[in-house]
Chain A
Amino acid sequence: MQARPAYLPYLLLAPSVLFLAALFLYPLAETILLSVRTAEGFSFDNYRRMAGDLNFASALGNTFLLVGVVVPLQIALALGLAQMLTKITRGREIVLWVWTIPMGVSDLAAGLVWLALLTDRGYVNSALFALGLIDGPTGWLSYETPVTLFVAIVLAEVWRATAIVLVILVAGFGLIPKEYGEAAEIFGATPWQRFTRVTLPLLKPSLQTALILRTVLAFEVFAVVFALGGRNFPVLVSEAYVWQFENQSYAVAAAYAVVVMAISLAATAIYLRVLRVKPEARL
């Protein structure tokens, strides 16, 4: 067989790299530039404007609160579901398939579905009224009811985006040979000990992937929040949206975008570090 030239792989990869550069790196550089450019030259004025805004602190706080509640909830839920899935053999694909249906629904559509359920005259209100549990239409999504609004957003996000974590973890569970769990059981581990001492450590790589993916996306949460809460529950991306389209201030919107990106990168770096598996400890 003739030896292939060494540059061939690079040549074949080139189109995708160019494609990425054109559609990702270039706009990224543009955004960063936009956020630091002012009429007088380069400065952090846009960031100062962003931080000085009344909504910035609450948007930042809300975003972290949402990520801090939603992501652990999703991971825990997906771990539980994936663990249960490993116990069944018949109909496993069907169950997994049903659970992953929400993955196919766009986030805006998901937000609207939950809005239809939870709005003043929505299904939930009608049902509770019919059961005699409430006296009339009750508002849950207004600025006067921040707790129920928050709960509704968490519910919608968990419903919408747990499936992707589940799919990754199910694949991860599948990579762990069953002998490890069996050995743990023989040597006296309870189901919980087996899970914490053997399954979880061996699941680290999948857990890392799932966490990075979910956390990055959770920091970018927008459509569901906007559909359910409008401006009652500001988050970073919805503020960027407001600055971009209502205030027509592209530079401040760009500053928001850069902040979201920086947070995502930091989160990714933390996960890569904390959940890294030493080469010698790999499966």
Chain B
Amino acid sequence: MAGIAIENVRKSFGSMTALKELSLNVEDGEFVALLGPSGCGKTTLLRIVAGLETRTSGRILVGGRDVSDLPPRERKLAMVFQNYAVFPHMTVYENIAFGLRMAKADRTKVERQVQRAAGLMHIEHLLGRHPGQLSGGQRQRVAVARALAVEPSVLLMDEPLSNLDALLRMEMRAELKAVLREAGTTTLYVTHDQTEAMGLADRIAVMHGGRIEQLAPPMAVYRTPATVFVGSFVGAPPMNFLRCQAADGAVAIGALKLACPRNSGEIVMGVRAEDLLPATAGTGLPFEVRVVEPLGSHALLTGTAHRQQIRVVYAGERDVSAGETLHLAPIAGRICWMDAADGRAIEGTT
């Protein structure tokens, strides 16, 4: 039984604040992804949980035990490093066996768990080699296998799939998810790739500038972003945000009239590209198409509406060409209203 509790953790490097008073609970057996752009503090947070970095203030609890001041080896967790950190002087086998050897596991247990971890990562054929003879992707899998081999109850991973090619990454993602779910491993997983976070996590913590902007299940983050930042960071293409003028509790853009939670003043309307459907001419939101990108199952249209750039996923029958004007209507209930001043979702609108 080992959840992770991060309580009011702050971290500054000199005058630079990397983490601003941050709290996060990862339940026992849960998979939480820390998602955010490069430099937002994901690695720093993970290293603080691991005990490799000191915190400026706050507490870390693992399995209810305050580990804030314990050295890493006493925190009883495993970690996959962003730059692998597989030992160059040891064979792949010895690398994977390292944690077990430190725990003084007996020979048969070492053999069994190394083989199992290597099998999960498809690197059984590399066990006799040294990391220097492997590709980046293979090394990364060794690093993951080394962490899985100790059958940890808490696992920290820092972009563990970033160096795999697209196909392998998808395969590993599915496999990792299955393995960790089956083992009931509590996982904190750092990534800047939103598809990875969406696909793997039970909940996603979207980080921005040393803060958690939103902590919610993947679809909730996708459908109802807590801030404009979350909406534009999660999802490809990013969520469209249109600044509009509210009057009498509604906004009117072209022929489109929608009730909104502000009586007057500026308000931001957020809507996903696939939630804008073609409407009959003369109704809906006029959208001037500038670029058409056919993507097989649908086309991605980029253009302007209400003098602002938006993207639309178009799956209609008729071919659309640049220069055309379409009329769009949002799917009911899929609009997120955001405060124009602070970019936060307006409570009770979704």
Contacts and interface: CB of A to CB of B under 8 A. Distances in A.
Contact of B73 (A190, A278, A282): A190
Interface stretch (B82-90, B108-116, B173-181, B320-328): B82-90
A198 B73 CA distance: 15
B132 interface: yes
A184 B88 contact: no
Interface of B: 50, 52, 71-73, 77-79, 81, 83, 85-90, 98-99, 102-103, 129-130, 132-133, 146, 150
Which of A179, A188, A277, A283 counts the most B-chain CB atoms under 10 A from its CB?
A188
Query: 8 nearest interchain CB pairs?
Result: A188-B102, A179-B85, A187-B99, A280-B130, A183-B85, A201-B89, A185-B72, A280-B132
Nearest to B156: A186
Contact of A282 (B81, B83, B88): B88
A101 interface: no
Interface of A: 177, 179-180, 182-190, 193, 198, 201-202, 204, 277-283
B99 A188 contact: yes
B91 to A, nearest CB: 9
A277 B129 CA distance: 15
A193 B71 CA distance: 14
B88 A283 contact: yes
B115 to A, nearest CB: 18
A281 B78 contact: no
A189 B52 contact: no
Contact of B81 (A179, A198, A201, A279): A179
6 contacts: A177-B83, A182-B72, A183-B85, A198-B87, A278-B130, A280-B133
Contacts of A277: 89
Contacts of A180: 85, 87-88
A265 B244 CA distance: 84
A282 B132 contact: yes
Given A185-B52, A185-B71, A186-B50, A281 B130 contact: yes
Given A280-B133, A281-B88, A281-B89, A182 B81 contact: yes
A183 B73 contact: no
Given A179-B85, A204-B89, 4 more contacts: A177-B83, A183-B85, A187-B146, A280-B130
Which of B73, B77, B78 counts the most A-chain CB atoms under 10 A from its CB?
B73
